[in-house]
Amino acid sequence: MERNISMAASYLALYRSGELQHRLERLEARLSACDLCPRKCGKNRLKGEKGWCRAGYFPSVASVCAHFGEEPVLSGTRGSGTVFFAGCNMRCRYCQNYQISQDRAVLKSGKMSFDVLAEKLLWLQEAGCHNINFVSPSHFVPQMVRAVLQAIPLGLALPLVYNSSGYDSVATLRELDGVIDIYLPDLRYADEAWGRKLSHAPDYPASARAAIKEMFRQIGELEVDENGIAERGLIVRHLVLPGGLAGSRESLGWLAREVSPDVTLSLMSQYRPAHRAVNHPLLSRRITLEEYREASGLLDEFGISHGWVQEMASADNYLPDFAREGSPFVPE
């Protein structure tokens, strides 16, 4: 496909200077006593030891596709070139991607060589996608960087999206300064108790807030091209949970005060009971219209005016099925 590719991708300069190779070497060395995420399991993943994420050295990829259901600035008209990593450093009871995030068999079956992953990135670019969107990359950061490093001399030049739960290590994110063009983290909980009970991550609020601050320090507010497609910047997602479990008031207030009221926010109504949520008394229902109106009203209260507010019907539109061939999402 003949088209113009944005040369704003910041990692190209790091590649030319040799710095990207140095970043990779430092990241891969940390796999010998893995501390890539806040859990700091200390397992030697270079020798196949597995920690909380159950991942070894080679990346496990569950799906590679053009995704048209991301935020408009990412999906655009040609889709976001999405790489869904298998496994996760969290255990969310309600995870809509549970088929690939919490199934050990997928980690094994999805194991992929770096050469193949690099080729997949080029395939997404040649298919016309606007960006390369790494989903759940927190436990595969060195592997992600190696694949990019191998794909650059083959022609990769698209902006890179780091699409995470927000449960990220600041030390790891610092190695991605100048590598990632667009950060897309979640901001899930304001209360440590719910982080522990619902995702087995009691330090989630502190870790995610520190990570988001570091992401914003690196790339700042969202920048788009003349066609409204994201080139650089931070987009924060906040999923409204039933019964106020997400702590929307505390989280959005913090975001406006401590990051910026001009930050781009994606407020999401798409929660639906999935995985183990169906049997949980607090999670077994969808959110109500009243709950969502209360959360969306916080945007005016805190002066957050950039971003998107999903429609209530979104809960029926974004549930993936990773058993489906090709894209896990129903074609639009």
Residue 331 lies in a domain: no
Residue 6 lies in a domain: no
Name residues whose C-beta falls within 8 Å of residue 75's C-beta, 6 or more positions apart in sequence. 67, 68, 69, 130
β-strand 80-85 against 223-224: which pairing, if any? unpaired
Tokens of 112: 């992929």
Q: Give the pLDDT band of residue 224 (cuts 50, 70, 90).
A: very high
If one counts every other C-beta atom within 10 angstroms of the C-beta of residue 304, the result is: 22
The count of domains in the chain is: 1
Calculate the CA 142 to chain-centre distance. 15
Cβ–Cβ < 8 Å for 263, 250: no
Q: Give the pLDDT band of residue 74 (cuts 50, 70, 90).
A: very high
Residue 328 lies in a domain: no
Q: Say which DSSP state 111 is in.
A: B
Residue 5 lies in a domain: no
For residue 149, give its domain range.
Answer: 11-316
Tokens of 271: 């929660």
Burial of 40 (0-12, 13-18, 19+ CB in 10 A): middle
Residue range 139-183, pLDDT digits in tens: 999 999 999 999 999 999 999 999 999 999 999 999 999 999 999
Residue range 147-159, pLDDT digits in tens: 999 999 999 999 9
Residue 179 lies in a domain: yes
Cα(17)–Cα(15) distance, integer angstroms: 5
Residue 3 lies in a domain: no
CATH classification at residue 241 = 3.20.20.70
Dihedral sign of CA atoms 317, 318, 323, 328 in order? positive
Name the nearest CA neighbour of 195 among 253, 236, 250.
Answer: 250
β-strand 61-67 against 264-268: which pairing, if any? unpaired
Name residues whose C-beta falls within 8 Å of residue 199's C-beta, 6 or more positions apart in sequence. 90, 91, 92, 93, 167, 188, 189
Residue range 189-209, pLDDT digits in tens: 999 999 999 999 999 999 999
Calculate the CA 186 to chain-centre distance. 7
DSSP 168-236: --HHHHHTTTTT-SEEEEB---S-HHHHHHHHS-TTHHHHHHHHHHHHHHHH-S-EE-TTS-EEEEEEE
β-strand 230-239 against 306-309: which pairing, if any? unpaired
Per-residue pLDDT for 309 more than 80?
A: yes
Calculate the CA 238 to chain-centre distance. 12
Residue range 99-125, pLDDT digits in tens: 889 888 888 889 999 999 999 999 999
For 96, list phi and psi in degrees, rounded to 5: -75, -15
Dihedral sign of CA atoms 53, 55, 56, 57 in order? negative
Cβ–Cβ < 8 Å for 302, 252: yes
If one counts every other C-beta atom within 10 angstroms of the C-beta of residue 108, the result is: 12
Cα(117)–Cα(150) distance, integer angstroms: 9
Residue 89 lies in a domain: yes
pLDDT of residue 59: 96
Residue 278 lies in a domain: yes
pLDDT of residue 312: 84
